[in-house]
Structure 1
Amino acid sequence: MNMIKFGTSGWRAVIADEFTFANVRLVALAIAQYLKKEGLANREVVVGYDTRFMSNLFAQQAGAVLTREGIPVLYSKRDVPTPVISFTVIDQKAGGAINITASHNPPQYNGLKFSPASGAPAPPQVTQAIEANIRKLQKEGVVLEPVEPQRDLFAEKDLAPAYIQDLESKVDFSALAASPQKVAYNALWGTGRGYVDRILQDAGWRVDVMHKEVNPLFGGRRPEPSEEEMPDFLEMVKEGDYTLGLATDGDGDRFGIADKGGKFITANHILALVFRYLVEERRLEGGVVRSVATTHLLDRLAQHYGRPIYETSVGFKFIGEYILEGKVVMGGEESAGLSIKGHVPEKDGIIACLLVAEMVAQKGATVGELLEDLFHLVGPLHSRRVNIPLTPELKKELPQKLAAHPSQVAGLKVTDVITIDGTKLVLEDGSWLLFRPSGTEPLARLYLEAESQKRLDILEEAGKKLLGI
C-alpha cells in the first residue's frame, strides 16, 4: 500500500509508480470528502494542470471524481500556471482547486496540489485531514474505476483573460509602455508561455522566447529557472545583447532572472531588489515575510525602512497567510517564490518577472547596477544552497545531527539557533547556515549566507563537516 503524503507543496511521485490514475482518483475522492465535511460541496472546484506527461488526463479524472460526488468543476481549457489557478479560486469564490503539477521536479514526476477557498497552498491541518481520508479509503480497500465527468457539473473555461486583466492593477503597464526594452523569455516548456511574453509584447517590448513549445520531457532537464538548468538561455541573453532575461518554471510559480550580459541573478537578490522598489517607488505600506531559508538582506532593508520582518517555515503556505492578512508589502522564498500585497497568497513567477521588468524600465538601470546600489545601502550578502542526496544512512542520522548545536562554526561563535524548520545557526558576523530535509525531493539541503563568496566556501566546508560528509 502506497503511503500518499503531501509535502511542502502537495503530493509528488514518479509517474506509473506511485502517481497513477487509480491513486489520483483516490486522492480526488478524499478531497471531495473533505469539501463535503467543510460544507463546500456546493461551490465549484477549479481543476488545472501543467504540461507534464498526461497531466490533462489526470486532471480530467480528478474532476470527474468530484462531479461523481456532486461537486461542480471549473476545468481549465489549457495547461495553466499555478498562480492563475489561485487567482481563479478567489475571483470565482470557488471552494478550492486541484492542480495536477510537479512544478520544477524532474520530468518523470507528476503531482497533485490542493488549494482551499483562500487560494493559498493548503496548510498542514488541511492536508493532514485529506491524508486521513486517504488512509481510511485505502484501509477499506476502495479502488475507483475510470469515470466520465458528469457534464452538467463540468464546465471548461480559459482562465487567462481575467488573471491578465487583474495584473493591470498590480503592474504598472504604462511604465512598461513608456520604456520598451529588448528582453528574452524562457518558458522552459511550461505553462508560462502566453503570459509574460504576451503582456510585455502588448506593452511594445521586443520579447524573444525560448522553449515555448510543449515538451513533457522538458529537454531532459528539470523545468527549474536556475543557473544550472538554463545555460543555453544565459548564453542567449549574453549573445543577443538583451537588457534582461526572464524565466518561469514548469507551472509558472517560480522565476529566474538574468542580467544584461547573461549573468544569473539569484532569487534572494531579486527579492531584496523588488522589496526595495515596492517600498521606495510604489510607497506600499507593511512589512516583509520570508522563509527561514531566505536572505537576511530583507531583514537589513526592513530595519532600514523601519518595517517589521516575519520569519516562517519553508513553504509558501506559511507566507501566504501574511499576504492574505495584508500585513506585508511582499513575501518571498529563496527558491524563487514571490507575491505582493493585494495579490494571490501563492508564489507567482509571472508577476515577479513583470515587476523586475517594470523596475528596470522605471529606474533606467540594469539589474546588476541596481544590485550594486543596494549593496551600498545595506551591505553585501551572498547566498548558496547545496543539495545533498539523502542516503538511507544520512536520513537515519540526520535528526541526531540536527539536534547537535555547536558553539562555534568556522571559527565564529554561534549567537542564535533557530529550529522552526530544520536547524539554523546564526554566527556572530551575521552569516548563517541552515540544515533541513527537502519537503519535495529525496535531498538534504544546506543553505548558507555570508558577505563574500570566499566566506561561503568556508561555511559550506564547515557545514558538510557537521553533517559528516
Structure 2
Amino acid sequence: MIRTVATQPFDDQKPGTSGLRKKVPHFQQPNYAENFIQAILDGAKLEPGSSLVIGGDGRFFNASVIRTAIRMAAANGVAKLIVGRGGLLSTPAASNLIRKRKAAGGIVLSASHNPGGPDGDFGIKYNIANGGPAPEGVTEAIFRRTREIREYKILEEDAPDLSIVGTTMLGETEVEIVDPVADYASLMEELFDFAKIRAAIEKGLTLRFDAMHAVTGPYAHEILERRLGAPVGTVLNGTPSEDFGGGHPDPNVVWAAPLVDLMMGPTAPDFGAASDGDGDRNMILGRGIVVTPSDSLAVLAANAHLAPGYARGIAGIARSMPTSGAADRVAHKRGIGLYETPTGWKFFGNLLDAGKVTICGEESAGTGSDHVREKDGLWAVLLWLNILAERGQSVSEIVREHWAEFGRNYYQRHDYEEVDKAAAEELMDNLRDRLASMAGQRFGTLVVSEADDFSYKDPVDGSVSTGQGVRIVFSGGSRIVFRLSGTGTVGATLRVYIERFEPEPARHDLSVEEALRELTETADVIGEIRKRTGRDQPDVRT
C-alpha cells in the first residue's frame, strides 16, 4: 500500500558538486531525507519501466536511508532496484552497475572522505544513466523540486533484508540484492594484467593497502589478497565501520599518517596505498616517497599503455583547474588532447562520453578513466601495480624518471576549514575585484603575468560554468589558485593551491616547503588570508 505523506520544503537542499551533504542530525530531521529523495525521483524524470541502483559507503544512517529510498522508489513506480548487499556499494562500483545494468541512474549515499558516525557527515547524490554524477541541469531540477515539494510517496511495506543476496518483490517493484564486489572485480580483471601482477607479488613485490575502515575493505580483500595473491594482512583496516573506526577516511598524509609512517620507515613495503570513505579517492606511496595526486595522474597517463585495457593508448587527459600542470606536459609530449575543467567529476562526463579523453584526475586524490564515470581509488592502485609489474622499478625510480623527462611541478594545497562563510566569501570577492589590475604587479621575485576567475565552456554541449576559482599566474608558470570548496558541511573551506614548475633535474630534490616558500608567503599577502579569516596557518596541508 502506498502512503502519501504531507511535508514542507526545506530551504537548504541545494546539491553541491557531490550532491547534498549535511551533518547526520540535520538529515535525521523528520522528512528531510524523504524530501530530497522524492525530489530526486521527480527531478530525474524517470521513464516507465526504469531501474535504479542504490547503495552507499556504509557510514552511520546509511542502511536506514537506503531502506527508505527503496520504499519510496517502489511507491513512485520504479520497476527494478539493484541494491548492494548490506547497503554497501563503493561509488565507482555503483557507477559500473548503472552502466552494466543499463539503469536509468542511481541513488548513492555517501559523504565521501568526510567523517562518519552519529555526529558525522552524511550525503545523498544522484548519478545519471552514464554512471556519472548528475550534471547541473539535473541537479537544478532536483533543487527546484525541493523548494516546492508538498508531499512524498512511500510504500507501507518494509524493505527486504539487505543482507541476503537475491531477488524479491516489493509491491510492483523487483528488488535485487547483489554482491557489491563481484561485478567491479570482474571489470578490473578485464582492464589489468592480473597474472603479471600476481607473478610480481610471488617474486617479492610487497604492498599494503589501508581501507581506512571504509567501503573499499571488501573490494581490496577480494582483489588484492584473493585474486592477486597478496598475503593476508596486506589490507589494513579492511572492515567497514559506521564511524570509520573513529577516524577520518581521507587518504592523505594527515589522516592516513600510520600508513605514511610505515612507508617512510625501515620496514616499508615496496608499494603503499589508501582509499577513502566511498572508494573514489586514493593515495599512492612508495618506499620513502609520497606521490602527489597531480604527479600520480601524470605518471598513470604516461604509462597507461602498459595495462591491457589501455594498450592502444589514451585519447586525451582531463584535469580539474586546481590540479597541477604535470599532466599537461604528458599530453603535449604525447600529442594528445588536454582539457582543463572546473572541480567536480561531473565535468569529465561529457568528455569521456564523447571519446575526447580516457584518463581524468583531480588534485584531491581522485583519478579514473572511461571504464566508469566516477573517480576510482582501487582502479588507480591496480594501474600502479600493473606499471610496477611491467617496469620492474620502484615507485621512486618511476617518479624520478618521469620528472627527468617532463619536469617537476612542486605542488601543495592548503585547506582552511570551517572558516566563517561571510568572511570567506568577502575574501574571494575582494580578490575578484582586484583581478583586472593585478597583471604586472611584483611580489618579491614574482611578477604576475595574468589573473582571472576561471570559467569553462564545455566543448561537447557548449554549457558555461563561471566563478570556478581565482587564478594568479606568474612569469615562469608558477601560480596560486583560490577557491571555496563545496564538500564541507560547516562554514566554508578556503582552499589555496600553490604550484611551481621546475624543469631542471638538478633542482628536483628540494623539499616542497623550500620550493614553495615564497609562493606560500605571497598567497597570504595577495589573499589577505590572516587579515580576513584570522587564521595563521591552514588546518591541513596536502
Regarding TM over 0.5, the answer is yes
1:121 maps to which residue?
133
Match of 2:191 among 160, 170, 174: 170
Superposed CA deviations along residues 313-368 of structure 1, whole A, max 9, x for unmatched, are 00011012222222113111111111124x10111111011111111111111111
Partner Cα separation in structure 2 for residue 50 and residue 21 of structure 1 = 23
Q: CA deviation at 1:308?
A: 1.6
1:438 maps to which residue?
485
**Quick check: 356-365 or 212-221, which moved more?**
212-221
Partner Cα separation in structure 2 for residue 13 and residue 146 of structure 1 = 26
- Contact persistence 1:320–1:331 (CA under 8 A): no
Q: CA deviation at 1:2?
A: 3.9
1:76 maps to which residue?
84
Q: Does 1:374 align with 2:399?
A: no
Q: Does 1:271 align with 2:280?
A: no
Query: Residue 367 of structure 2 aligns to which amino acid in structure 1?
Result: L
Partner Cα separation in structure 2 for residue 299 and residue 128 of structure 1 = 32
Q: CA deviation at 1:230?
A: 1.0
Q: CA deviation at 1:245?
A: 0.7
1:132 maps to which residue?
144
Match of 1:253 among 280, 289, 294: 280
Question: What does 1:328-343 correspond to in 2, within 5 Å?
Answer: 328-341=357-370, 343=371
Superposed CA deviations along residues 235-276 of structure 1, whole A, max 9, x for unmatched, are 234354311111110100001112114x32211111111011
Match of 2:414 among 361, 386, 389: 386
Query: % of aligned pairs identical?
Result: 29
Runs in 1 of length 4+ with deviation above 6 angstroms? 143-146
Superposed CA deviations along residues 21-50 of structure 1, whole A, max 9, x for unmatched, are 621111111111123x3x424211100011
Q: CA deviation at 1:398?
A: 2.8
- Contact persistence 2:316–2:359 (CA under 8 A): yes
Q: Does 1:398 align with 2:398?
A: no
Q: CA deviation at 1:372?
A: 0.6
- Contact persistence 1:210–1:233 (CA under 8 A): no
Note the residue ranges of structure 2 that are not aligned, 5 or more in a row.
1-9, 160-169, 456-467, 503-509, 531-542
Query: Residue 235 of structure 1 aligns to which amino acid in structure 2?
Result: D
Match of 1:462 among 508, 515, 522: 522
Query: Residue 214 of structure 1 aligns to which amino acid in structure 2?
Result: P
2:68 maps to which residue?
61
Question: What does 1:209-248 correspond to in 2, within 5 Å?
Answer: 209-237=235-263, 238-248=265-275
Q: Does 1:112 align with 2:124?
A: yes
**Quick check: 78-87 or 319-328, which moved more?**
319-328
Match of 1:46 among 41, 48, 53: 53
Superposed CA deviations along residues 259-295 of structure 1, whole A, max 9, x for unmatched, are 114x322111111110110157734131111000111
Cα gap change, 1:209 to 1:385, in 2 (>3 Å): same
Partner Cα separation in structure 2 for residue 316 and residue 240 of structure 1 = 37
- Contact persistence 1:267–1:334 (CA under 8 A): yes
Partner Cα separation in structure 2 for residue 197 and residue 268 of structure 1 = 27
2:228 maps to which residue?
203
- Contact persistence 1:19–1:110 (CA under 8 A): no
Q: Secondary structure at the match of 1:168?
A: helix
Q: CA deviation at 1:106?
A: 2.0
**Quick check: 158-167 or 116-125, which moved more?**
158-167
Q: CA deviation at 1:463?
A: 1.1
State the superposition RMSD in angstroms: 2.0
Partner Cα separation in structure 2 for residue 89 and residue 219 of structure 1 = 30
Aligned residue pair count: 462
- Contact persistence 1:51–1:189 (CA under 8 A): no
Match of 1:412 among 446, 466, 480: 446
Partner Cα separation in structure 2 for residue 166 and residue 327 of structure 1 = 22
**Quick check: 152-161 or 58-67, which moved more?**
152-161
Query: Residue 93 of structure 1 aligns to which amino acid in structure 2?
Result: K
- Contact persistence 1:287–1:308 (CA under 8 A): yes
Cα gap change, 1:214 to 1:376, in 2 (>3 Å): same
**Quick check: 92-101 or 207-216, which moved more?**
207-216
Superposed CA deviations along residues 147-169 of structure 1, whole A, max 9, x for unmatched, are 53435412222232122112222
Superposed CA deviations along residues 114-138 of structure 1, whole A, max 9, x for unmatched, are 101111111111101001011110x
Partner Cα separation in structure 2 for residue 48 and residue 85 of structure 1 = 7
2:327 maps to which residue?
298
1:32 maps to which residue?
41
Q: Secondary structure at the match of 2:217?
A: coil
Q: Secondary structure at the match of 2:303?
A: helix
Q: CA deviation at 1:232?
A: 1.2
Greater C-alpha radius of gyration: 2
Cα gap change, 1:19 to 1:337, in 2 (>3 Å): farther
1:355 maps to which residue?
383
Query: Residue 293 of structure 2 aligns to which amino acid in structure 1?
Result: A
- Contact persistence 1:96–1:117 (CA under 8 A): yes
Partner Cα separation in structure 2 for residue 20 and residue 413 of structure 1 = 52
2:461 maps to which residue?
none
Q: Does 1:157 align with 2:178?
A: yes
Partner Cα separation in structure 1 for residue 321 and residue 62 of structure 2 = 32
Q: CA deviation at 1:186?
A: 0.4
Partner Cα separation in structure 1 for residue 267 and residue 349 of structure 2 = 37
2:506 maps to which residue?
none
Cα gap change, 1:193 to 1:114, in 2 (>3 Å): same
1:429 maps to which residue?
476
Query: Residue 433 of structure 1 aligns to which amino acid in structure 2?
Result: I
Query: Residue 447 of structure 1 aligns to which amino acid in structure 2?
Result: Y
Q: CA deviation at 1:462?
A: 1.1
Q: CA deviation at 1:415?
A: 2.5
- Contact persistence 2:314–2:359 (CA under 8 A): no
Question: What does 1:301-340 correspond to in 2, within 5 Å?
Answer: 301-340=330-369
Query: Residue 527 of structure 2 aligns to which amino acid in structure 1?
Result: L
Partner Cα separation in structure 2 for residue 98 and residue 189 of structure 1 = 22
Q: Does 1:344 align with 2:394?
A: no
Note the residue ranges of structure 1 that are not aligned, 5 or more in a row.
none
Q: CA deviation at 1:19?
A: 5.1
